[in-house]
Amino acid sequence: KQEVTQIPAALSVPEGENLVLNCSFTDSAIYNLQWFRQDPGKGLTSLLLIQSSQREQTSGRLNASLDKSSGRSTLYIAASQPGDSATYLCAVRVADKLIFGTGTRLQVFP
């Protein structure tokens, strides 16, 4: 059974820091991995999608890497801003379904 874990569960940092959020999964047989952002009381916003054959994807200040063989992904956020404050979720796709981690709650203070 696929299990997805995210560490840390919560993170509070001053503005301007570079951050690394971690995601691990137990079964390497995945189609892809997707990172999402969720603001309080809102739906999920897709940030990055990494196919199983890819090693990383970049969008603006965000960079996500994937090491499928070791069951790990990281989301790197450069030069964090207060607007980055949200919960970040990773999810792996298995067949037609996404299996989600429990998220990292990020707070960036000025």
Q: Which residues bind other proteins (CB under 8 A)?
A: 31-32, 34, 36, 41-46, 49, 51, 89, 91, 93, 96-98, 100-103
* Closer residue to other proteins (CB): 46 or 58: 46
Instruction: Pick the closest to residue 83 from 45, 33, 57 (CA basis).
Output: 45
State in angstroms the smallest separation of the CB of 51 from other proteins. 7
For the bound state, the minimum distance from the C-beta of residue 19 to other proteins, rounded and expressed in Å, comes to 21
Q: Which is nearer to other proteins, 61 or 93 (CB)?
A: 93
- Cα–Cα distance measured from residue 72 to residue 106, given in angstroms and rounded to the nearest whole number: 19
Q: How far is the CB of 46 from other proteins (least distance, A)?
A: 6
Closer Cβ to other proteins, 96 or 110, answer by number:
96
In degrees, to the nearest 5, what angle opens at C-alpha 7 toward C-alphas 44 and 13?
80
Least CB distance from residue 79 to other proteins, whole Å?
25
- In sequence order, the β-bridge partners of residue 37 are 45, 88
**Torsion sign (Cα): 80, 15, 7, 86:** negative
For other proteins, the closer of residues 42 and 55 by Cβ is 42
* C-alpha–C-alpha distance, residues 81 and 19, integer Å: 11
